[in-house]
Amino acid sequence: MTTAPADSAGTLTPEYGDKVIAVETAGSEPIPDAERHGSPRQLLWTWASPNIEFATVYIGVIPVLFFGLSFWQATAAIVLGTALGAVTQGVLSLDGPRFGVPQMVVGRLSFGHRGNILPSAANGLVAGVGWFAVNSVSAAFALNTLTGLRPLPSLLLVVVAEILIGFIGHNFVHTFEKYAFPALAVIFLLAGLSTFDHADLGGGGAGGGIGGFLLAFSAAWGYAAGWNPYAADYSRYLPRTADRFRTVLHPAVGLFVSVSLVAVVGAASATIAAPPDATPTAAFTGHLPGWLGDLVLIAIILGAVSANALNVYSGAISLTALGLDLPSWLSRGVLVVVSGAAGTAAAWASLSDAGAAYEAFLLVIAYWVAPWLGVVLTERWLRGRTVSDQELSARLSDRSFTNRPGIAALLAGVAVSVPLFSNQEKYVGYVPAHWPSFGDITPPVGFVVAAGVYAALRGRARATVSP
């Protein structure tokens, strides 16, 4: 039996432990050893279920319909981009049992306490508002197609479920993903088999070239790596003794297999003709038998809820990781509701043009995640085993700890890559404007620039502790 932790007044607070139907009270502070529980295996379905959904399907649809790639070209870009994002997901998951804090708190080692405010705020916005809106829209369209209920009330029904799961917290999120996984896997497997039976795998676009391939790669990598800033959020309750290899393996496999397979099904579906006025979800299910089409619509709703439970939870956790002196009433649970409300508003605004909004959003994610990841991974490599976990943990809670090279490198990666290489509908950078065949190489350029700048600056000036 473990002892319940004491609150600031010295009285005992209810023990959270492995309770499922209990509202989590922890925010961004370290999880005590007495509260640690679970095994790395749970990370398999926690990272598989959220990606067996329609947003992942569209990762495959976009390269064929918008980037001009054939099915096989799109498949190659999807597999390569997803694999890279999945590997880093596994590596970053090690931070959970090691430090017991969310991923964006671990970021203080790379950016310092104050410098980490910028990436934490960015992740809170992207996760709790951007991704929440994207997935809620797909679920709303599915519910609309399934029942005939108008899109707005469909949207409101979906977001209530998503916010509720995120509000209850960590253990309930893991449990929901566990039981959603088999239903989602079976339904999408059946849909995939039917889709390949109707698809023209020799069809699709034929003029995408290297530019289209790089765009598809960036979209797939941005989607998979977009989960990286959440990695430790769902492993931080694991015991410190959790097996390191399995802690890397399970999230990486869950993420890679689910994203790559579902996205490839999406690429195949894009080779099947659909009515010009069909909604994205209706276009995907139009060729399926009626009973299977209805099951897929249910799975799209369930998958979106699975994804947004993580998005709204991690969005709120990222806001608590800002390190600001927030009012006591502004707890993690309240921030979940606030983030969900903002995401609902964004979803409502994008109901009329969901496809174009999603394409742009996917690329924008990679624009900030790539430089962030470049700094974080370089810091891990340079630090190696030269600093003890005790000292690193002390830095995480030390408000005076600074690491100016980190934030400088992050900004340099964004400043160099986005103006020169981004390839959006409303803005085309210098390189794609003059050499369209390059497509969009913003993410790899941002990663390399940020990593190189950080390595150079950190070599000159070690992170310092302000007086």
Q: What is the CATH number of the domain that holds 92?
A: 1.10.4160.10
Query: How far is it, in rounded angstroms, from Cα 28 to Cα 38?
Result: 19
Query: How far is it, in rounded angstroms, from Cα 239 to Cα 37?
Result: 6
The pLDDT value recorded for residue 428 is 84
Please check the confidence at residue 358 and state whether its pLDDT lies above 80: no
* 5 vs 71, more confident: 71
For 129-174, how does the pLDDT look when each residue is reduced to its tens digit (9 = 90+)? 888 888 888 888 889 888 989 888 999 999 999 999 999 999 999 9
Please check the confidence at residue 280 and state whether its pLDDT lies above 80: no
Please check the confidence at residue 391 and state whether its pLDDT lies above 50: yes
The pLDDT value recorded for residue 4 is 46
| Residue where the block lists tokens 């790899």 | 444
* 198 vs 246, more confident: 246
Please check the confidence at residue 107 and state whether its pLDDT lies above 70: yes
Phi, psi torsion values for 94, nearest 5 degrees: -60, -25
Q: Which pLDDT band, with edges at 50, 70 and 90, does 352 fall under?
A: low
Task: Please check whether residue 54 lies inside any domain of the structure.
Answer: yes
The answer to whether 241 and 30 have CB atoms below 8 angstroms apart is: no
Mean pLDDT along residues 181-193: 95
* 435 vs 312, more confident: 312
Q: Which residues pair with 465 in a beta bridge?
A: 401
The pLDDT value recorded for residue 467 is 36
Please check the confidence at residue 356 and state whether its pLDDT lies above 70: no
Q: Which pLDDT band, with edges at 50, 70 and 90, does 127 fall under?
A: confident
Please check the confidence at residue 361 and state whether its pLDDT lies above 90: no
CA neighbor of 31 nearest in space, from 177, 235, 172: 235
Q: Which domain holds residue 431?
A: 40-389+396-460
Total-model pTM: 0.89
Task: Please check whether residue 146 lies inside any domain of the structure.
Answer: yes
Mean pLDDT along residues 97-102: 95
Catalogue the long-range contacts made by 396-399 (C-beta closer than 8 Å, 24 or more residues apart). 396/30, 396/99, 396/101, 396/105, 396/106, 396/108, 396/109, 397/30, 398/113, 398/465, 399/113, 399/323
Task: Please check whether residue 375 lies inside any domain of the structure.
Answer: yes
For 54-94, how does the pLDDT look when each residue is reduced to its tens digit (9 = 90+)? 889 989 998 998 888 999 999 999 999 999 999 999 999 99
User: DSSP characters for 187-221?
Assistant: HHHHHHHHHHHH--TT-B-S--HHHHHHHHHHHHH
* 434 vs 235, more confident: 235
User: What's the sign of the alpha-carbon dihedral 458, 463, 464, 466?
Assistant: positive
Task: Please check whether residue 327 lies inside any domain of the structure.
Answer: yes
DSSP label at 2?
P
Task: Please check whether residue 30 lies inside any domain of the structure.
Answer: no
Q: Which residues pair with 112 in a beta bridge?
A: 402
- The tokens for 206 are 């034929």
CA neighbor of 331 nearest in space, from 13, 10, 3: 13
Mean pLDDT along residues 176-202: 93
Beta strands in 316-385 (DSSP E): none
> Which of 99-103, 316-320, 331-335, 351-355 comes out lowest in average pLDDT?
351-355
Please check the confidence at residue 11 and state whether its pLDDT lies above 50: no
What's the structural domain count of the chain? 1
Please check the confidence at residue 449 and state whether its pLDDT lies above 60: yes
Beta strands in 311-433 (DSSP E): none
Query: How far is it, in rounded angstroms, from Cα 80 to Cα 214?
Result: 11
Average pLDDT, the chain: 86
Task: Please check whether residue 10 lies inside any domain of the structure.
Answer: no
> Burial of 366 by CB count in 10 Å (0-12 exposed, 13-18 middle, 19+ buried)?
buried
Q: What percent of the chain has pLDDT over 90?
A: 52
Query: Which residues lie closer than 8 Å to 455 by C-beta, 6 or more apart?
Result: 378, 382
Task: Please check whether residue 100 lies inside any domain of the structure.
Answer: yes
Task: Please check whether residue 35 lies inside any domain of the structure.
Answer: no
Say how many Å lie between the first and final Cα of the chain, rounded. 42
Mean pLDDT along residues 262-272: 92
Report angle CA 181, 84, 58 to the nearest 5 degrees: 55
Query: Which residues lie closer than 8 Å to 294 by C-beta, 6 or more apart?
Result: 146
The pLDDT value recorded for residue 330 is 66
